[in-house]
Chains A and B, each alone.
Chain A
Amino acid sequence: MSIPEGRAWVYGDNIDTDQLAPIKSYKNMEAEEGCKFCLEPLDPDFAGAVEEGDIFVAGNNMGIGSSREQAPLHLKLLGIRAVLAKSFARIFYRNTLNFGLPALICADVDRINPGDRLRVDALKGTVENLSTGETLHCEPLPDHLMEMINAGGLMQHLRKKLKRED
């Protein structure tokens, strides 16, 4: 898989799914449209300013709340290519990986400043901070999840698997 490189968007603990995907963003709306409301209650400028390749950085319990997978899907559609956090809420964690978006547990996210340029290697579990010259380490993903991410997500992974079984 490609190694994403982009600017860091740094937030705190308990970024919940009602902020990542407010109900108005998904009830009668496709995610391509709804993603414009991602994080609106917390940072109304986020959705408009984020760029392809950017990295989302959060503290503890990233993605707490609902199982609505528009939460990570919105991040992905806006261009976010990796999510780093001290810890994740479990459903959000799985949803994010299922979309082929690396969700990496990184104890040292406090060392990342907003706007830092990061290069995230999910396979190696490293985050190179090009702005500070530091390299941070993440918990490596289990093999079965790395395989799924390399395929592009759960659906792509299943498609390949089902084809092999034919």
Chain B
Amino acid sequence: MTQLMTTRSMTLAEKIIARAAGLDAVTPGEIVTCAVDLAMMHDSSGPRRAGKMLDELGVPIWDKDKLVVITDHYTNEPDPGSIAIQEHARQWVEEKKLPHFIAEEGICHVVLPEFGHLKPGMFCVGADSHSTTGGAFGAFMIGVGATEMAGVLATGEIWVRVPETLRLEVSGTLGDGVAAKDIILKLCGDIGIMGANYMVVEYAGEAVRAMNVDERMTLTNMAAELGAKTGIIAPDSTTAEWLAATGAPGTANVDTGAWQGDADASVARVIDMDAGLLAPQVAAPSNPENAADVSEHAGTAIGQAYIGACTGAKLEDLRMAARIVGGRKTAAGTRFFVAPASNRILGAAAADGTLKTLEDAGAVILPTGCGGCIGLGPARLDEDMTGISSTNRNFVGRAGPVSSRLYLASAYSVAAAAVTGEITDPRELL
């Protein structure tokens, strides 16, 4: 992908949209049609819904090489419904002779970059709301519904309204026991779950630059919980090294310099946050915007602690949890589940001892997949149960029955609750 030659100053997101729309420049508010570089869909939104609609339309997939199908939603349940969904996805992919099918390897937003499909400067769509995660790689990636995806599969195009930019500048250094999840929960609490509605959230500042890719993904993932169209982080050597380490074709030397926003590009809003002043955050039931310092909820009894989902079960999250629970035991009366976000993460956690530390503390390791976050599998909350999890949403009835209550927090804080049986400031256990 070549960089644009233009005189108008633009943000990174605007540059990517302009390139995909075949224009020299774009302005927020403008409606443009973009050519899609990559489309991703999973077993819930994909073959059984978008695929079915495409077939009813009777046209071929615009470019099979640009479509990735990943199964992650209904992968671990032995019930006939889940098995039928998996079987249908497999058959559809086989029938279409799709080159990129990733079955039961992990959660789509984590697996997609692991397999080398995302690179800086790409314009991507995913049939899942947390497709915003892809912005951690300097790509512009938006979530869409299944019908919208069927339209992309048929035409290779999608209309977008060029979003205004909200830039979060995080200065300073995060304290020990404080993580990217605390930054994003704090932002949810400060501006609310529609605080960035229709906008793109650009994460910048020295604390973001200092983060590894796993942590950056937590920030872009939860741009969805701000109502944003997506989140994005300018790519740098950290991005390039992570991509190269995947070993996937075309990831060895990605061009990060070409995909940077102009320093003088105008943005709609800038929010400054000092990482050094940030305390661990906990979002109370049943909205991510109910975020507050962990001290406000300390002592709340917890029946289940869950490290899982695209948001909170990357290798870095598992390591955070292991640091807390190492040498300790899960509290009596609290169950502790860990569902790594992908099989590669599971492998890496097994190799470096993280997994053993978690298991020794009493964590039950679950197979990878969306599972508990969407109220499926063993980590589904029981009736009247209060849980804490490293996931992204705690809406009523999502992770369990309507009577259950869910707090959201970082992997540090979830692990702290697992061993104490109540909401606890993880810094006390480090």
Q: Which A residues form the contact surface with B (CB < 8 A)?
A: 14, 16, 18-19, 22-23, 27-28, 41-42, 60-61, 64-69, 87, 89-91, 94-95, 98-99, 142, 144, 153-155, 158-159, 162
| Cross-chain contact B145 with A18 (CB below 8 angstroms) | no
| Cross-chain contact B194 with A89 (CB below 8 angstroms) | yes
| Cross-chain contact B396 with A95 (CB below 8 angstroms) | no
| Cross-chain contact A154 with B194 (CB below 8 angstroms) | no
| Cross-chain contact A69 with B197 (CB below 8 angstroms) | no
Residue of B nearest to A143 (CB): B31
Question: Would you list the 3 A-B pairs with minimal beta carbon distance, nearest first?
Answer: A28-B81, A69-B145, A95-B145
| Cross-chain contact A95 with B129 (CB below 8 angstroms) | no
Q: Report Cα–Cα, A14/B396, bound state, in Å.
A: 12
| Cross-chain contact B287 with A18 (CB below 8 angstroms) | no
Task: Tell me if B319 is interfacial: C-beta within 8 Å of chain A.
Answer: no
Task: Tell me if B309 is interfacial: C-beta within 8 Å of chain A.
Answer: no
Q: Which residues in chain B, 393-407, are within 8 Å of chain A measured between CB atoms?
A: 393, 395-398, 402
A-chain residues with CB within 8 Å of residue B287 when the two chains form the complex: 14
Q: Given contacts A89-B194, A89-B227, is CB(A155)–CB(B56) below 8 Å?
A: yes
Q: Report Cα–Cα, A155/B193, bound state, in Å.
A: 31
Cross-chain pairs A/B with CB under 8 angstroms, 22 sampled: A16-B396, A18-B397, A19-B397, A23-B374, A23-B376, A41-B397, A42-B396, A66-B129, A67-B45, A67-B144, A67-B145, A68-B45, A94-B145, A95-B148, A98-B145, A144-B31, A154-B148, A155-B56, A155-B147, A155-B150, A155-B151, A158-B57
Q: Which residues in chain B, 111-143, are within 8 Å of chain A measured between CB atoms?
A: 127-129, 131, 143
B-chain residues with CB within 8 Å of residue A14 when the two chains form the complex: 193-194, 287
Task: Tell me if B412 is interfacial: C-beta within 8 Å of chain A.
Answer: no
| Cross-chain contact B194 with A162 (CB below 8 angstroms) | no
| Cross-chain contact B57 with A162 (CB below 8 angstroms) | yes
| Cross-chain contact B144 with A158 (CB below 8 angstroms) | no
Q: Report Cα–Cα, A14/B394, bound state, in Å.
A: 13
Within the complex, which residue of A22, A95, A153, A154 is in contact with B397, where a contact is CB–CB below 8 Å? A22
| Cross-chain contact B197 with A154 (CB below 8 angstroms) | no
| Cross-chain contact A154 with B396 (CB below 8 angstroms) | no
B-chain residues with CB within 8 Å of residue A142 when the two chains form the complex: 31
A-chain residues with CB within 8 Å of residue B154 when the two chains form the complex: 158, 162
| Cross-chain contact A27 with B74 (CB below 8 angstroms) | yes
Bits for B373-386, please: 1 = Cβ < 8 Å to A, else 0: 01110000000000
Within the complex, which residue of A27, A65, A159, A162 is in contact with B129, where a contact is CB–CB below 8 Å? A65
B-chain residues with CB within 8 Å of residue A155 when the two chains form the complex: 53, 56-57, 147, 150-151
Determine how close the nearest CB of chain A comes to the CB of B195; give it in whole angstroms: 10
B-chain residues with CB within 8 Å of residue A41 when the two chains form the complex: 396-397, 402
Task: Tell me if B229 is interfacial: C-beta within 8 Å of chain A.
Answer: yes
The interface on chain B, measured as residues whose beta carbon lies within 8 A of the other chain's beta carbons, has a size of 43
Determine how close the nearest CB of chain A comes to the CB of B128; give it in whole angstroms: 5
A-chain residues with CB within 8 Å of residue B128 when the two chains form the complex: 66-67
Residue of B nearest to A13 (CB): B194
B-chain residues with CB within 8 Å of residue A61 when the two chains form the complex: 193-194, 197, 227
Within the complex, which residue of A16, A28, A64, A95 is in contact with B147, where a contact is CB–CB below 8 Å? A95
Within the complex, which residue of A23, A64, A68, A144 is in contact with B227, where a contact is CB–CB below 8 Å? A64
B-chain residues with CB within 8 Å of residue A23 when the two chains form the complex: 374-376, 398
Extra pairs beyond A18-B396, A95-B147, A144-B31 (18, CB < 8 Å): A14-B193, A18-B393, A18-B395, A23-B375, A27-B74, A27-B376, A61-B227, A64-B227, A65-B393, A68-B145, A69-B147, A98-B147, A153-B147, A154-B151, A155-B150, A158-B57, A158-B151, A162-B59
Task: Tell me if B9 is interfacial: C-beta within 8 Å of chain A.
Answer: no
A-chain residues with CB within 8 Å of residue B57 when the two chains form the complex: 155, 158-159, 162
A-chain residues with CB within 8 Å of residue B44 when the two chains form the complex: 68
Within the complex, which residue of A18, A94, A144 is in contact with B398, where a contact is CB–CB below 8 Å? A18
Determine how close the nearest CB of chain A comes to the CB of B218; give it in whole angstroms: 18
| Cross-chain contact A98 with B148 (CB below 8 angstroms) | yes
A-chain residues with CB within 8 Å of residue B81 when the two chains form the complex: 27-28
Within the complex, which residue of B144, B193, B375, B397 is in contact with A91, where a contact is CB–CB below 8 Å? B144
A-chain residues with CB within 8 Å of residue B398 when the two chains form the complex: 18, 23
Task: Tell me if B198 is interfacial: C-beta within 8 Å of chain A.
Answer: yes
Task: Tell me if B146 is interfacial: C-beta within 8 Å of chain A.
Answer: yes
Most buried by B among A41, A66, A68, A144: A66
Q: Report Cα–Cα, A95/B197, bound state, in Å.
A: 16
A-chain residues with CB within 8 Å of residue B155 when the two chains form the complex: 158
A-chain residues with CB within 8 Å of residue B402 when the two chains form the complex: 41
Determine how close the nearest CB of chain A comes to the CB of B36; give it in whole angstroms: 15
